[in-house]
């Protein structure tokens, strides 16, 4: 009955979000309450689990998300990311630009939210598309979409990556090592495959492209905006690069067994991102002054609140699932002693996240919910948590489509029809999800 009630709770969450269009926060709380009460956890114990789960995930990732969003908001405000994509246009060349774009999106850009990424990069994608040829727009659009979401789910400090790592109690340094390889590799391989697909009659310019005048006007304004006041690109990126180096150094120090208390302090993700935040604040203050910095910080605070709430509620669902005793019931499904069972565990984790994403339409909510469901059973299987976490990340990308707000933003900003958006964004996220799955299986051999 616990399994049945868990399935009902998830179905209720999905139906509330999709059919009734209830906010995910409310939907997740309703599902958590139903699950706790229906499985006999009890009235008080259910509420305690919800509150405790929220607090525990906030302790894990709250500061990381807050610091990361604020860093992104200030760097975006001073034009750092726009300067970067403009440099790519000038130096990389048209033929290699899709691969440079997707690599950059999947490594550096995860520090900002996906909506900001597509608003920032879509003018560059459109402006460079004619130089690539007839299929320039779909190729650049596909590269942009796969880069954004490969970075979002695999690369620290992408929100989905940080959230999964927190929910599964995976050290961020460990995730960074594997995710920084899988993210750009997935993005580049997907872009190569998509290019092969575009060589045939896949793309119909008349049906798949749709130019919106308002979008063109916004695009032109972005491209001609003066960025002479923006600091040099390398300086702009230091608030992102320095924390990544600090976290990576701490992880390698622990791996190679020369870590000590001071190195652990420097490599702590919370402290590393705080150092990045201070750097971004200084750059923003010098570039925009006090008022501009305050405005950028305010925008970051506004974004942070919603992200923290939905992430915390995802932790609440996981805590309630833990109280139901589902871990003992599902343990057999995730028993992985050797060989095929390991693959089965990875496939199950991938499938849970993929189905949730197809149903809910949010990569982050699907990743957080899947991690909340699978997290309680991790102790009963012999597969490394990093492998299960990466499998969830891989599945959560699968087939982004019309029940996502991002789908419609992507469509408008890139001048695509609905059919064209299916043939770019939905297709590349599906390819990326499938392509990354064997990479996750490869990680299982060494993790």
13 contacts 310 by C-beta, under 8 angstroms? no
Residue 209 in 3-state DSSP?
Answer: strand
pTM for this one? 0.69
* Paired tokens of 340: 């095929």
343 contacts 441 by C-beta, under 8 angstroms? yes
Phi, psi at 40, each rounded to 5°: 85, 15
* Paired tokens of 210: 């749709």
**What per-residue confidence (pLDDT) applies to 182?**
97
Residues of the chain with pLDDT under 70: 18, 81, 85, 88-89, 111-113, 116, 119-120, 123, 211-228, 255, 326-340, 403
DSSP codes, 411-445: HHHHTB-HHHHIIIIIHHHHHHHHHHHHHHHHHHT
**What per-residue confidence (pLDDT) applies to 447?**
76
Instruction: Report how far Cα 443 is from the mean position of its chain's Cα atoms.
Output: 19
Residues 6 or more apart whose CB falls under 8 angstroms from that of 190 comprise 102, 142, 146, 150, 428, 431, 432, 435
C-alpha dihedral (68, 69, 74, 80), degrees to nearest 10: 70
For the chain, how many residues are written? 447
103 contacts 191 by C-beta, under 8 angstroms? no
**What per-residue confidence (pLDDT) applies to 440?**
96
d(CA 257, CA 276): 26
Whose structure tokens read 């957080």? 368
């Amino acid at each position: 009955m616990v399994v049945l009630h868990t399935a009902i709770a998830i179905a209720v969450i999905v139906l509330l979000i999709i059919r009734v269009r209830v906010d995910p926060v409310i939907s997740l709380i309703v599902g958590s309450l139903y699950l706790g009460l229906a499985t006999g956890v009890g009235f008080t114990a259910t509420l305690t689990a919800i509150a405790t789960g929220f607090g525990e995930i906030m302790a894990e990732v709250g500061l990381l998300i807050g610091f990361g969003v604020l860093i992104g908001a200030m760097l975006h405000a001073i034009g750092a990311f726009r300067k970067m994509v403009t440099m790519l246009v000038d130096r990389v060349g048209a033929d290699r630009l899709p691969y440079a774009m997707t690599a950059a999106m999947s490594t550096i850009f995860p520090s900002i939210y996906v909506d900001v990424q597509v608003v920032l990069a879509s003018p560059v994608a459109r402006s460079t598309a004619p130089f690539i040829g007839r299929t320039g727009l779909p190729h650049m659009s596909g590269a942009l979409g796969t880069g954004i979401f490969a970075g979002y789910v695999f690369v620290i400090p992408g929100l989905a990556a940080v959230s999964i790592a927190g929910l599964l109690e995976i050290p961020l340094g460990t995730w960074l090592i594997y995710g920084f390889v899988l993210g750009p590799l997935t993005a580049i391989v997907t872009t190569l495959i998509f290019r092969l697909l575009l060589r045939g009659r896949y793309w119909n310019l008349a049906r798949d492209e749709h130019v919106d005048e308002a979008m063109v006007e916004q695009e032109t304004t972005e491209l001609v905006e003066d960025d002479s006041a923006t600091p040099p690109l390398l300086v702009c990126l230091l608030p992102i690069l320095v924390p990544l180096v600090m976290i990576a150094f701490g992880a390698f120090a622990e791996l190679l067994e020369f870590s000590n208390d001071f190195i652990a302090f420097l490599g702590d993700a919370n402290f590393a991102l705080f150092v990045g935040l201070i750097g971004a604040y200084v750059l923003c203050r010098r570039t925009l002054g006090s008022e501009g910095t305050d405005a950028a910080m305010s925008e970051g605070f506004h974004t942070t609140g919603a992200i923290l709430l939905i992430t915390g509620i995802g932790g609440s669902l996981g805590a309630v699932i833990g109280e139901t005793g589902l871990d003992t019931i599902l343990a057999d499904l995730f028993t992985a002693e050797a060989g095929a069972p390991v693959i089965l565990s990875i496939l199950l984790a991938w499938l849970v996240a993929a189905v949730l994403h197809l149903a809910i339409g949010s990569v982050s909510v699907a990743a957080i919910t899947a991690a909340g469901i699978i997290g309680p059973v991790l102790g009963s299987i012999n597969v490394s948590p990093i492998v299960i976490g990466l499998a969830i990340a891989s599945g959560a990308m699968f087939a982004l489509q019309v029940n996502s707000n991002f789908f419609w933003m992507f469509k408008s900003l890139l001048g695509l029809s609905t059919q064209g958006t299916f043939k770019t964004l939905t297709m590349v996220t599906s390819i990326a999800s499938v392509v990354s799955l064997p990479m996750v299986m490869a990680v299982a051999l060494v993790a």
